[in-house]
Amino acid sequence: MFDLGKRTAVITGAGSSIGKAIAELFSAQGAEVHIIDLNESNAKEAAGEIAAKGGKAIIHICDVSDQQQVKKLFDGIKTIDILVNSAGISHVGTVETTTEADFDKIFKVNVKGVYNCLYAAVPLMKAAKKGVILNIASVANHVGLVDRFAYSMSKGAVYAMTLSVAKDYISNGIRCNSISPARVHTPFVDGFIAKNYPGKEKEMFEKLSKTQPIGRMAETIEIAHLALFLCSDEASFITGTDYPIDGGFIKLNN
């Protein structure tokens, strides 16, 4: 089950965090993985770890917010069986504390970046009459999050694009779904705590962990496991669906 042999998987933001975990797992399941990232050192590190385990990973340094870069890159790859849109950035702030520059930056990466990759990949999948797309959204699609105005906006757009692409291309053999994680333990979380709560890192980590009813943050590999299912043939009847993976956050906190 969950065999990705002879599949080409393009994963954005695969140099770190959730994207990296997905790239490693997909490679372990037999996929040829293309790591798309803006940070060259992160991309090389991720590819090296995959190679050390006998997998194959190809690095592409690319700004997903630049449509020409993305189109040229994807056309060069030619065959894309799986696209995972994981590249994204976060932002802390209300509508009052979010500057226009903040808003534009979030939109450029989290919304336009996903659009650019969809724009470049869908024609290739249409030509092949098959393909799987997975977008990484957020629980912010479903509930209001404190101090996450611009981030919530961007992930709501990702969810809407998921539904639109799923409906428009179902007759072309293309499936499109999204995953909505709650808080995941990533370097961003550690950095946010260290910056804003110096000396209280352990206390704040525990506090943030307990915002999930399950009592902890998700690990990146847990998100990757769900991604693997949705991108595998075992999920061949699933499209146009968003999957919360949230430790009970949406339903049990309300």
Instruction: State the pLDDT at residue 254.
Output: 61
151 is catalytic: yes
Neighbouring C-beta atoms of residue 204, cutoff 10 Å: 16
196 Cβ contact list (under 8 Å, min separation 6): 204
Return the higher-pLDDT residue of 56 and 176: 176
Instruction: State the pLDDT at residue 48.
Output: 97
- The one-letter amino acid code at 197 reads Y
Neighbouring C-beta atoms of residue 231, cutoff 10 Å: 28
Tokens for 166, please give them: 């799923």
Query: Which residue in the list 115, 151, 169, 243 is annotated as catalytic?
Result: 151
Instruction: State the pLDDT at residue 241.
Output: 98
Give pLDDT tens digits for 17-67: 999 999 999 999 999 999 999 999 999 999 999 999 999 899 999 999 999
Return the higher-pLDDT residue of 159 and 195: 159
Instruction: State the pLDDT at residue 21.
Output: 98
Instruction: State the pLDDT at residue 192.
Output: 82
188 Cβ contact list (under 8 Å, min separation 6): 17, 90
Mean pLDDT across the chain: 96
Backbone angles phi, psi at 114, to 5 degrees: -65, -45
List, as one string, the DSSP characters of 172-202.
GTEEEEEEEE--B--HHHHHHHHHHSTT-HH
Instruction: State the pLDDT at residue 40.
Output: 97
Which residue, among 60, 76, 54, has the nearest Cα to 11 in the 3D structure? 60
| Torsion angle of the four alpha carbons 11, 45, 197, 98, in this order, in degrees rounded to the nearest 10 | -40
